[in-house]
Amino acid sequence: MNGYFGQLLVVNLNDESHEVLSLGDSLLKAYIGGSGLGARLLYDSTGGETDPLSSENVLIFATGPFTGTQIPSTGRHAVVAKSPLTRIWGESDVGGRWGIRLKGAGLDAVMIKGAANRPVTISIEEDHVGIEDAGSLWGLDTYAVSDSLKEVHGPRAEICAIGRAGEHLVPMAALMHDGRHGRAAGRCGLGAVMAAKRLKAIVVSGSRKAPVADPEGLERRVRHMRGKIKASSAYLRQFGTSGGLMCLESSGDLPVKNFSQGGWAGAEKLSGEVLAETYLKGRFACGACPIGCGREVAFRRGPYAVEKGAGPEYESVAAFGSYCLVDNLAAVCVANDLCNRYGMDTISVGATIAFAMEAFEGGLINAGDLGGMTLKWGDADAMIEVIRLIGECQGIGRLLGQGVKAAAEKLGPKARDFALHVKGLEFPAHDPRAFFSTAVAYATANRGACHLAGLTHALEGALSIPELGYDHPLDRFAVRGKGIMAAKMQNLMGIFDALKICKFLLYTGITVSDLADGLRLITGWDVDVDGLLQTGERLFNLKRLYNIRCGIASSDDVLPPRALTPLRAGGARGRTPDLTAMREEYYTFRGWSENGRPTPGKLKALGLEYRHQGRGQADA
């Protein structure tokens, strides 16, 4: 089977057994891989009644047909489960090398079922699956776990591990990969799902290669792609994702003071350029990536120190910087490093601390709640201490670790006014008042507030994608057509997440045709752009069906009031998106009813008509 090994490893931790199931050609053509295949497997295995932290939930790791090939920036895999943070569809995408090693072991995906009666690790090699006791690893941070397991399994083994936050079942716990390089499957709290299964780590090792239909054609396509990437990625390579921070601040896209302030002079102290001049010690590239946007930092300066490890990317810089008005880059690096060690999503943690700072300012949280500590805007030391409390599930950390939605419900109606989330997932670092399409993209994204599920702000900033009908960037403050554009981009992003290729390549000139041609050359399938985009539509609708099963309706496709309240300053001053108009246009284009449900005709057209009848059985 070209591009695949056609194998799904199912590990049942209830009795510590495992089996390998065959993945059929029709299944892979319909769902491709990554979170697409994960959606099918999760839909067939869990439902609305499933408790995310019970043994009934499943945890799925899935590669794609691009994983382990020469195609650039394809060292990626997806992690899928029902989310303990949102209690709906949970999906996390991560780079590094772990996914390549899993594919090298001759597997396209792994599903973890049940729960062990003791802490364990799973080791997966080319012809061996082992389950070992992990009692000595329980309680260690993710770096220590990775170091320890590499001593046993060798330097080429790659580790996926949870930290202490996962062990405490914190619903914003992450799964950390590639040791000190800090590659995080961060969003949706899937690290807590892994911990509930008493699974501390998964070790993978393998060097096998799936067959390719047209090796020579693929090599030509790869040379073409690498040429475009090399010509346009120098800035990203030099300064990382936070190299664009000041541009985003000037446009009003950078969230400041929990999305309440339109601009901030402190932003210039946190940029990728400043990081490169101060704490940067090296760069890290995910597998098969010619760019290397990952940062490596190390320093001891004043009260702050970081051993050599992953530096903060844009989302983390914003979450611990502008969200909280902390303009000390060293403190932001420490906050990022702590989250990596504890195994926590930096976006959710930073957003929740900003929420808590505002709650403290408004008197909804006091020093007594904080063990005598104050939590004021810009207080870096207090921010770092709260990260520890969340990671250890102690004091106020027990409440804040549940996320802003749960914390706001506990603190009362006033808190809900400044709790920035969609469907329980905290806002990432892009303000929908600066790029209006972001409003409808956040509101309708399947995992909750997510910029990567649509990446629509890119089409309102610098990109054009003619294959979607957009040959020039769009007016960012226009409303008409944005619902349609958001749906098209969500379909395309679903394809990136299924193939397993980095979305930043859109900024380097990689096209939808490049993706379709790559898939055709690898698999031998008859693939064109239209067919690929229809597959993306199928994947998005299947995830929506899963959410409907979990109780999601049009009343959940909303934004909190603050996100629709104009700012008084900054690059988006006085602007507010018309979410109602964009959502109506979006539903119509999607072929959904006015209550946000895919119509029978749409489901039939996508080959999903049987999916809304109830839990089915995968033909895997």
In this prediction, residue 515 has a pLDDT band, given cuts at 50, 70 and 90, of: very high
Q: What is the pTM of this model?
A: 0.97
Whose tokens are 């921070």? That residue is 245
pLDDT in tens, 153-164: 999 999 999 999
In this prediction, residue 610 has a pLDDT band, given cuts at 50, 70 and 90, of: low
Task: Decide the pairing of beta strands 199-204 and 120-125.
Answer: parallel
Whether 496 has a pLDDT exceeding 60, the answer reads: yes
In this prediction, residue 201 has a pLDDT band, given cuts at 50, 70 and 90, of: very high
**Angle made by CA atoms 396, 397, 403, in degrees to the nearest 5:** 110
Q: Which residues 6+ apart lie within 8 Å of 268 measured at CB?
A: 246, 274
pLDDT in tens, 111-141: 999 999 999 999 999 989 999 999 999 999 9
In this prediction, residue 461 has a pLDDT band, given cuts at 50, 70 and 90, of: confident
Whether 204 has a pLDDT exceeding 60, the answer reads: yes
pLDDT in tens, 389-423: 999 999 999 999 999 999 999 999 999 999 999 99
Q: What percentage of the chain's residues is helix, strand, coil (to nearest 5)?
A: 45, 15, 40
Mean pLDDT, rounded, for 81-92:
98
- Alpha helices (H) in 32-106, listed in sequence order: 34-45, 98-104
Environment class of 561 (CB within 10 Å of its CB; exposed 0-12, middle 13-18, buried 19+): exposed
* Contact in structure between 257 and 264 (CB atoms under 8 Å): yes
What is the 8-class DSSP label of residue 189?
A: G
Of residues 496 and 127, the one with the higher pLDDT is 496
Mean pLDDT of the chain: 96
Closest alpha carbon to 365 in 321, 323, 407: 407
Between CA 238 and CA 316 the distance in angstroms is 18
In this prediction, residue 225 has a pLDDT band, given cuts at 50, 70 and 90, of: very high
Phi, psi of 144 (to 5 degrees): -65, -40
In this prediction, residue 619 has a pLDDT band, given cuts at 50, 70 and 90, of: very low
Predicted pLDDT at 609: 82
In this prediction, residue 301 has a pLDDT band, given cuts at 50, 70 and 90, of: confident
In this prediction, residue 237 has a pLDDT band, given cuts at 50, 70 and 90, of: very high
In this prediction, residue 611 has a pLDDT band, given cuts at 50, 70 and 90, of: low
**Could you tell me if residue 554 is left (phi over 0), alpha (psi between -120 and 50 degrees) or otherwise beta?**
alpha
What is the 8-class DSSP label of residue 223?
A: H
pLDDT in tens, 147-193: 999 999 999 999 999 999 999 999 999 999 999 999 999 999 999 99
Domains by residue range for the chain, with CATH: 7-204 (3.60.9.10), 235-426 (1.10.569.10), 437-613 (1.10.599.10)
**Angle made by CA atoms 454, 455, 461, in degrees to the nearest 5:** 140
Mean pLDDT, rounded, for 188-208:
98
In this prediction, residue 456 has a pLDDT band, given cuts at 50, 70 and 90, of: very high
